[in-house]
Amino acid sequence: MSTNTKTLLKGYCKYVYYAGAGNFWFENVHQESIYYKIYHLVSFSIYFTMIFLENLAAIFGNFPEVEKKSAIMFSAIHDIILIKMFFMLYYKRSIKKLNYEMVCVMQDKEEEFIMRKQKRKVVWGILFYVLTVYLSLTAYGVESLRKAIVEETPFYTVVTYFPGYYDESVIASVFRVFFYMTWLYMMLPMISVDCMPIIHLIIMAYKFVTLCRYYQRIRKRFEWNLTIMSNEDAAKILMVECIEGIKIHQKLMFLVEEIHRIFGIIMSLQVCESSAVAVLLLLRLALSPHLNLTNAFMTYSFVGSLFFLLALNLWNAGEITYQALLLSNSMFFCGWHLCEMNGQSYNDIRRIVLVGCGQAQKPLILKAFGIQDLSYTTFVSVARMTYSIFAVFYQRREGK
């Protein structure tokens, strides 16, 4: 099977469907039957109930300090994730239409080796993120089990209002294990929400790479045409191909705006979630006098997964900006300067190239909440800020 945008998006939509989030593919390949809708309703009802109990625990729960802080942190995280899931479901029709547009644009100009790079970046990025997430969740389970055996404390991973902390009955233990298993399964639709913008950002970046290579091929074809036909005929072909490239560029800019409209809030919330929670976790490290191996691994893996997700969003958004800026050079060197300067075709192609270059030189920047750029620089700034806060509190602890 060939590697292209359609197979990549279709495969990801298949994962989203089996995760219970619904069919986001524009074709009715995965039908949302009555049984699927029941599965979707039941699973999301369980997720919502667990998150509701987390919020009650954070506000009203009577727990020791460690569990109380975990309840506050996870209730905030899961509330944000629930909002992101709501927005993804709200824009379901728009996402289907966006998938269709992204599959159709430049479908006949995709190159196999570029598509392999695109697929490799998507697959390895998502797999590594999933691995870090489940490593941290496993560490939470192992640490809770260790404390239950060694310190004889209740088995707590997700801290919920029910059952109570001091309830040691069998039913309470069953519910705690059930909520942990629910948490593990709940991460599947959560990951699908987190990675939905990322896969679209990566594909859009490679769309601009493909368009740059299209202009490079135009240049080579024009040079060849000059050897087998008149300058006037070769220039007319070049002009037609340049106009097509400009139309494609306008379509890509429209798709980037659609990605920002549909996924803008999700990506903005992700920036807030990753940076804020990473600060809280690192503060926990800085203020704790000592951490055992599983506790430290649990915290570091969780911080790592949050920062990696933030990096996937900001790096790939920044990659779109970078690849879009490279397009003006490819347009300018499409071969128009090789035309005879005394002909009408030269004047026509020159005007077309100037218009295209002018459009391509406008920075294509995605923003969080319409304020903060989603870029490499923003990721570095967030990482520095987080580490600075950690370093300050760590030094204060060491100075005591």
pLDDT of residue 1: 43
Neighbours of 293 (CB within 10 A): 11
- Give the H or E element holding residue 368: strand 367-368
What is the C-alpha separation between 133 and 193, in angstroms, rounded?
14
* DSSP-assigned letters across all residues of 136-171: HHHHHHHHHHHIIIII-----SS--SSS-TT--SHH
What is the C-alpha separation between 239 and 335, in angstroms, rounded?
10
Q: Please write the tens of the pLDDT for every residue from 130-141.
A: 999 999 899 889
Per-residue pLDDT of the chain (400 residues; tens, 9 = 90+): 457 899 999 999 999 999 999 999 998 888 889 999 999 999 999 999 999 999 999 999 888 887 888 888 888 888 988 999 999 999 999 999 999 999 999 999 999 999 999 999 999 999 999 999 999 899 889 988 988 898 888 888 888 998 888 888 899 999 999 999 999 999 999 999 999 999 999 999 999 999 999 999 999 999 898 888 888 888 889 889 999 999 999 999 999 999 999 999 999 888 888 877 777 777 766 666 566 777 778 878 888 888 899 999 999 999 999 999 999 999 999 888 877 766 666 678 888 888 899 999 988 999 887 788 889 888 888 888 877 877 776 676 666 5
The number of CA neighbours under 13 Å toward the Cβ of 169 is 7
pLDDT of residue 399: 60
Number of independent structural domains in the chain: 1
- 81, 186 in Cβ contact below 8 A? no
Domain coverage including residue 278:
5-101+109-399
